[in-house]
Structure 1
């Protein structure tokens, strides 16, 4: 039988603006009786942040449980009004889900660090393409040719520089794809997105600021099927209508994206990029 008990952890203080969480204390929740034992970081929050993890579990009031890549680190975020017993019961109740998601993350296919050489595989809009490196003078750039991804670079270009070029190319793909999606969904959702940004994020596909209308999208979305990008764009825009991932949010998403569960599975089951995770 699984037994849960708390042990003290470091006290931390990270002041942030009023729209985000201020972490004021941390505890460690140990789940014994599992193989391997489960250590869960529990952070007490002064202000509840609207987080969206790769695997966002549920919320009970303002209690959030997230399972993070690459190996399934579990984090519970709760306001001060919830005591140890509330958190312990919430975690034990969701242990089957936590174990399932941890196993899913640990067994997920991962790309090794890209060496950026001929014959290497890269994903572009959900399609696996073989890279061909063509060394020649002139502007470095990428082209898609049938099932291949062509990289034109001057001789002697380092692997690091080639990775930088690929990152820029992925961003450009998104810059071309995102505006039509926002223009399509603004009149449907009756919301406005005055600004959007592409960034590299380790635990989220996207995020938004309801007050400013600004949304952020993960550069890794350029590797996924275009429908996955649309799903994330609509997800973040829907947060302009409903802040939390509650029943109303789910109902809205089911109306706008009927196959959202299939798209979510595509995102979460796709190969993970090589990253230096914390």
Structure 2
């Protein structure tokens, strides 16, 4: 089955568009960031796809809200036995209470937190986020340098943030780039995809044909990385058009 990929933005929501040899249009909302993907028949034009998305915006927004509500409800207690992800690998948390500075160590399939006795769950969550940020700060300089050289650009400033609906973002005027702290949970290939994606925006504002062509040139497997990063949809609807 042949496929082609494109992007569009509808009412402030970024949409991945995949053209396939199918009869009906499908709209999916993917966790954890609420990425929206449309699988569309090859015959449909962009205006037809945009109209279908606009007509389904209330449904799309409900699904994205469910994702955000679920994220708030699934706050981790940071106790021994919980599962956490580190660079795409599932780790079982072990909490060791002992005096001294709080820190994490990866020991095989375990993520070990050494923390002072009496620490609260909120304090442990704060330690984990700081550790995730440190993991990103360790990997990003090398990746950014590699892609700066590959694309012939310069990244004057980059920041790690917690973002609800995006894996990354960039300012085309200042060339500043932001990365979602959640990327430390994903496979390193996903982090490289986001680096390439955001730096490609230095040249192309939107996600149209020119953007896709640049991504194809510099990262031929970017679609596979994108799909693995976004995972399975929270919900999917078929839309007959």
Specify the structure having the higher radius of gyration (Cα). 1
Question: Are residues 117 and 196 of structure 1, via their aligned partners in 2, closer, same or farther at CA, if it must alter by over 3 Å?
Answer: same
Q: Distance in 2 between matches of 1:229 and 1:190?
A: 19
Q: Distance in 2 between matches of 1:163 and 1:122?
A: 11
Question: Are residues 197 and 210 of structure 1, via their aligned partners in 2, closer, same or farther at CA, if it must alter by over 3 Å?
Answer: same
Pairs aligned (count) = 204
In the alignment, which residue of structure 1 is the partner of 2:80?
118
Question: Are residues 160 and 229 of structure 1, via their aligned partners in 2, closer, same or farther at CA, if it must alter by over 3 Å?
Answer: same
Deviations 1:156-201 (A, max 9, x none): 1000000000000000000000000011111110111010000000
* Structure 2 unpaired stretches of 5+: 1-9, 19-26, 37-45, 235-241
Question: Are residues 166 and 263 of structure 1, via their aligned partners in 2, closer, same or farther at CA, if it must alter by over 3 Å?
Answer: same
Deviations 1:198-236 (A, max 9, x none): 000001100101111100000000000000000001100
With a CA cutoff of 8 Å and minimum separation of 6, indicate the structure with the bigger relative contact order: 2
RMSD over aligned Cα atoms: 3.9
* Structure 1 unpaired stretches of 5+: 1-41, 44-50, 59-64, 75-85, 273-278
Q: Distance in 1 between matches of 2:47 and 2:208?
A: 19
Shift of 1:66: 10
Q: Distance in 2 between matches of 1:227 and 1:238?
A: 16
Deviations 1:85-140 (A, max 9, x none): x98983237879x9899989979xx7732110001000000000000000000000
Q: Distance in 1 between matches of 2:122 and 2:154?
A: 38
Residue in structure 2 matching 1:235, options 197, 201, 205: 197
When the two structures are superposed, what TM-score results if normalisation uses the length of structure 2?
0.72
Q: Distance in 2 between matches of 1:100 and 1:136?
A: 47
